Every structure is written in structure tokens, then in C-alpha cells.
Amino acid sequence: MHATTIRSQRALAPVRRGFVRRNLPYLLIAPSVIMLLALIAYPLLFALRSSFYFWNLQVGPEPMAFVGLDNYVQALNAFDFRAALTNTLILSVLGTAIEFGLGLTIALVLLKALPGMNVVRALLILPTTIAPIVVGFLFRYLYDPGGGLLTWVLQSLWLPVPAEGILGSPTTALAAILFVDIWQWTPFFAIVLYASLLSVPDEIIEAARLDRASAWTILMRIKLPLIRRTATIIVMLRFMQIFNTFDTVLVLTRGGPGTSTRTLGYSLYEQGLVNFNVGLVSAQTWITVLIVNIIVALYVFFAFRNEEW
């Protein structure tokens, strides 16, 4: 009885619901894909078209003249755009590397699993939960030249603090922004690396220890390779997040002094929402999108080519 029911259904199914049945998974992801495409395709196409026009919202509401590739030439030759690209790369590369190193160190300390350290681990994540723009406010207060806590600490240690303040001097401003990012995101690396190191089986470590492998060798040759996938993912996420940063810069320095802390994200913000130079910012948008895509594509290709999903 039971078996016949199933058989009859199977025989009927392809005829009645063939299309739905065959394409079911694609139909289920379709709403999200369509929604996202609509939200992304429009801005990209809009920017592509605008990038070939002279168009400044301060001058007029509509594109003024077709200028070909002029906006791209102007964007690439602009001194501040190159400064922005350099700063962005410095922040992304140094930030990711330092955060990974410090995070790994903290993770190894947390792994000692002493009583009470669980509280430290739980609280440690708090900086990462704060909105970047709020972290910006927090550090503007700490960096304040007229009584900020960090300024005071540095002065108490007899370290030189620029008269214009840490954020006001071109020599220290970029480092100050880097420090803010490190403060906020080192806990992220610490917690994620801690969790994944915890999942490395004890037997493997024991076996290596019996073979008299040093703690350093065990870390570099056994533990890190075993958590490679996790490390790959978080490094990529963080690199791209720093690469796209603009709100912290907006609150802390507005890209200054001069161009010393200008990032690609902030540059786009300023050209678009302060100067309303839609044509130029559209060209910069496309240049940025291309750079981001190249970085992500290279990374994905090399990091995930052997991964199965």
C-alpha cells in the first residue's frame, strides 16, 4: 500500500510540476539574487554612464557634456587620488598583518584556559561590536591635544606629541588611524583564531610533542596549517573592510592634514557628497570597483581553488 503511493507520486510528478521540481533550488535563491542585482546593477550602470560626462550637481541637475575618458584621466592623474590609493594600501596591508599577529598572540594566551580567562575572552570582543563611526568619536576624545587620555599617557612617558595633536600632524595622523583600526579589530582576530585553534585535536599536538617538536614548530607546522581555511577567510574579510573604510576617517581627520590620511573611500565621499562632482566620482567609483574585484578575484583564486563547498 505504502509503496504504491510513493510510486504513483513519482510517476506523476515530472508531468505536473516538472519545471518547478527541476529548477526548485534556483527558484528559491531567485528572489534574493534579483533583489540584490537590482540594488547593485543600478548604481554601477549609473556610475558607468555618468563617468563619461562632465556633471557637477553644484553646476546643474543634469549631465552637461560628454567628455569621453576625461574623468578617468583626471582621476588617475589627481595627486590626491594617488595619495588615497597609497594610504589605503598601507592601512589595509599593515592593519591586517598587525591585527593577525596580535590576535594570534592573544589567542595563544587565552588557550592556556586558566580559570577566569573565560571572562576576559567574552569581554574582549566588545571593541569589535561598536559602530566604526562611534569608535571614531571615542578616539577623537582620547587623541585630543588639550587633555585626551592617550595624549596624556604619551606625554607622561616622555614621548614627543606633536603640538597640533596626534591627529593634526601629517607625520602621525595615518598611524593614529591605523591604531584605531588595530584597537577595534585585533579582538576579532583573537576570538576567531582562539575558537578555531581550540578545535585542533589534542592527539595531534600530543603526538608532535612526543616527537620533541618545539612549541614554535607545533604552531607553525601543525596548528596554523590546520586552521588555514579560517585564517584565509578572516584575512580576506578584514583586508577588504579596511580597504573600504571611510567613516572612521570622516570622524577623525576628514582625510587631513593635507592628504596624509585620505583613503579611497574618503576620497569618493568627498568628491561625491561634498563637491558633488558626479562625473569624476563615477570614474573613481569604477576604478575602485575594478581594483577591489581584481584583489578579491586573485585572492579567491589562490586561496579557495582547492576548496569544496
In the complex with another protein, the residue whose CB is nearer, 152 or 171, is 152
Question: CB 260 → another protein: shortest distance, Å?
Answer: 19
- 40 touching another protein, by CB under 8 A: yes
- 47 touching another protein, by CB under 8 A: yes
φ/ψ of residue 97, rounded to 5: -65, -45
| Cα gap 58→69, rounded to integer Å | 21
The pattern of x and - marking residues 11 through 30 that bind another protein according to CB under 8 A reads: -------------xxx-xx-
Question: CB 157 → another protein: shortest distance, Å?
Answer: 13
- 207 touching another protein, by CB under 8 A: no
- 93 touching another protein, by CB under 8 A: no
Q: Name residue, grid cell 579560517.
A: 230
Query: How is 54-104 classified by DSSP, letter by letter?
Result: E--TTT-SS--EE-TTHHHHHHHH-HHHHHHHHHHHHHHHHHHHHHHHHHH
Question: CB 284 → another protein: shortest distance, Å?
Answer: 8
User: Which residues in 126-185 contact another protein (CB under 8 A)?
Assistant: 126-134, 137-139, 141-142, 144, 146-149, 152, 156, 183
Among the listed ranges 39-47, 64-72, 74-82, 206-214, the one in contact with another protein (CB under 8 A) is 39-47
Question: CB 309 → another protein: shortest distance, Å?
Answer: 4
Among 1, 4, 15, 31, which residue sits at the site for another protein (rule: CB under 8 A)? 31
Count of residues touching another protein (by CB under 8 A): 95
- 68 touching another protein, by CB under 8 A: no
The answer to whether the CB of 283 falls within 8 A of the CB of 81 is no
Beta bridge mates, 54: 65
- 75 touching another protein, by CB under 8 A: no
| Cα gap 205→160, rounded to integer Å | 46
For 281, left (φ over 0), alpha (ψ -120 to 50), or beta?
alpha
φ/ψ of residue 23, rounded to 5: -105, 15
Among 68, 79, 112, 160, which residue sits at the site for another protein (rule: CB under 8 A)? 112
Element (H, E) at 188: helix 173-198
Q: Which residues contact 120 (CB under 8 A, 6 or more apart)?
A: 110
User: Which residues in 227-286 contact another protein (CB under 8 A)?
Assistant: 229-230, 233-234, 236-237, 240-241, 243-244, 246-247, 251, 264-265, 268-269, 272-273, 278, 281-282, 285
